Amino acid sequence: MRVAGGEWEDVDETVRIVRLPCHFGGARRYFICPGVVNGIACGRRVTKLYGSGRYFLCRHCYRLAYQSQREQPPERALRRANNIRMRLGGDPGMLWPFPGKPKGMHWRTFKRLSRQVRRAERLAEEQFAMQLDRLKARVGRRNRGKGLWT
């Protein structure tokens, strides 16, 4: 491995694997994270280890966040609405017409999903409008008397 384009180094790391039985038969294998955070061994049982640095560690040790955890409320609402639109067989985006009820889906389910999309898109529009108002106010304060957005 190499850090930040430096020289390649050999890294010898031992990662324990445990095998736990599943409730309905079979077994599942997990890695035991070998990381140390603030002097305390992590020891989490995880399905994935990440190679973001010198060693293979869990998300917690590398302080990795999921993409959805970094999203602002309007982005999260639009992603949720787009996922439902695609689930119904439509295209993502508020500019496209809302898809019809897929064959085999109950009307009650379709109506519930439609309400969720409308609610999420309305929330996103409100949030974007608030952000635009804040931006206009900020630009207006900077450009007071210059004729921009006045």
Sign of the Cα torsion 122, 128, 133, 134 reads: positive
Q: Which uninterrupted H or E stretch holds 19?
A: strand 16-21
| pLDDT given at position 147 | 60
Domain map (residue ranges) of the chain: 16-62, 68-139
| pLDDT given at position 137 | 87
**Which residues, 6 or more positions from 14, have their beta carbon under 8 angstroms from its beta carbon?**
34
| pLDDT given at position 2 | 74
| pLDDT given at position 74 | 82
* Residue segments in the chain with a per-residue pLDDT below the cut of 70: 143-150
| pLDDT given at position 121 | 92
Distance CA 104, CA 106 (A): 6
